[in-house]
Structure 1
Amino acid sequence: PLIQQEVVNTYHWVSMNDFMVGIALGQITPGPVLITATFIGYKVASFAGAIIATLGIFLPSFFLVILTAEIHQKIEHNSIVRAAIRGIMAAFTGMMALVVINIARSALVNIPSVVVALGTFALLRFTKLGTIWVIIGVGTIYWFLNLITNGYLIH
């Protein structure tokens, strides 16, 4: 929600549709936030923007890990630290729920998109199918549902 607010609503660097494409691409690759930042950087300032955005997302956490790695072993079993981590995880869960709600509002716009979303969830949750096969299969099904529902190919 924070990146979306800044790049779509505040600065208007990318449209909501472009942002959703970036999120979707990021979700099927390692490091969704890193990939999304790289995508937005590229949309704003081509290759140089992609490099700067990637470094801007990657370097702070890289240096933070280096600086805190040594003390982590000393404090990881501390009850206050463990309680703080539980609180952080609760906040993270809430933020992820907000992301899901925002994406659902933008993506679930017709019956085929709802059917595909529910089918994808069911396949990933209740079967052992590989993610890539689910994406390929669901993409094909969505294409056919759109063809049937609208009477023409997706543009």
Structure 2
Amino acid sequence: MPAELFDLFWQFMLFSLLAFGGGGTVLGLVDRVAVADKGWITPAEFSAAVGFTFITPGPILVLAPFVGYLVAGAAGAVVATLGVFLAPWALAMGSAHRLRRYLQHPRLRAFGKGAGPAIVGLFSLAVLTIARSSLSNLALVAVALIAGTLMARTKLHPIIILAGGALAGLVLGIPALEGALPEIRIP
């Protein structure tokens, strides 16, 4: 296996081990590794991949083959996807028969209580990463705030809210408006 394919496999296997609470928790890490550290993909490609993952089930399961394909074609898509599945599968196979016995153990319960706040931190990094690439002007910040408010205060389906945001993005992204809205930078 060429070095790049092995590296893709290895990185996505590590991502899957860190995805407590779902694939969204590792978006910041994927961005750091795939964009900043390895230079496999551009920030724009990462933003497109993340946007696509949120309109499909299982963000990391869509992100892995997307990044893998951009890096090494079909073989990259396959090994990145295998990397996502291998570690959780091995952990599940190795621990399933013992887990029931230990579910009430104080240390395992303490692990769960500590993992919750860590998941909040990981999600915070994912939110910050997406915000940096998505919220480039005040109009787009308004779209984000409206979407969050609608999600919190109404029973609208998330797909409807996402579609509304996408439509707003189309309207706000019209070339005639480019430069008309003040740019912002999130640190």
- Structures share fold, TM-score greater than 0.5: yes
AA paired with 1:85? G
Structure 1 residue corresponding to 2:159, chosen from 132, 145, 152: 132
- Using the TM superposition, give the Cα deviation of residue 144 of structure 1 relative to its aligned residue in structure 2, in angstroms: 2.5
Alignment of 1:71-110 (within 5 A): 71-110=98-137
Q: Which letter does structure 1 place at the counterpart of 2:148?
A: F
Specify the code of the residue in structure 2 equivalent to 1:72.
Answer: L
2:88 counterpart of 1:53: no
1 CA distance for matches of 2:49 and 2:178? 28
Kindly indicate whether the alpha-carbon contact (under 8 Å) linking 2:34 and 2:41 is maintained by their aligned counterparts in 1: yes
Equivalent in the alignment of 2:168? 141
In the alignment, residue 53 of structure 2 is paired with which amino acid? G
Spell out, residue by residue over 1:56-91, the C-alpha distance to the aligned partner (whole angstroms, 9 max, x if none). 111211121111111110111111110111111211
Q: CA deviation at 1:44?
A: 0.7
Map of 1:34-73 to 2, 5 A cutoff?
34-73=61-100
| Distance across 2 between alignment mates of 1:135 and 1:70 | 40
In 1, Cα distance between the equivalents of 2:136 and 2:101?
A: 50
Residues 64 and 12 (structure 1), Cα distance of their counterparts in 2 relative to 1, 3 Å cut: same
**In the alignment, residue 51 of structure 1 is paired with which amino acid?**
V
Higher helix share: 1
Report the residue type matching 2:90 in the other structure.
F
Relative to the length of structure 1, the TM-score reads 0.89
User: Is 119-128 or 132-141 further displaced after alignment?
Assistant: 132-141
Task: Measure the CA separation in 1 of the matches of 2:69 and 2:52.
Answer: 14
* Corresponding position of 1:31: 58
Whether contact under 8 Å (1:112, 1:142) holds in the other structure is no
Larger RCO (alpha carbons 8 Å, 6+ apart): 2
Contact 1:37–1:54 (8 Å) recurs in 2: yes
Task: Note closer, same or farther for the CA distance 1:116–1:7 as it changes in structure 2 (3 Å cut).
Answer: same
Q: How high is the sequence identity, in percent, across the aligned residues?
A: 34
Kindly tell me: are residues 148 and 55 of structure 1, through their superposed partners in 2, closer, same or farther at Cα, counting changes over 3 Å?
A: closer
Question: Aligned match of 1:121 in 125, 139, 148?
Answer: 148
Number of aligned residue pairs: 152
Work out which of the residue numbers 6, 9, 14 in structure 1 matches 2:41: 14
1:25 and 1:3 map into 2 onto residues whose CA distance is 15
Shift of 1:105: 1.9
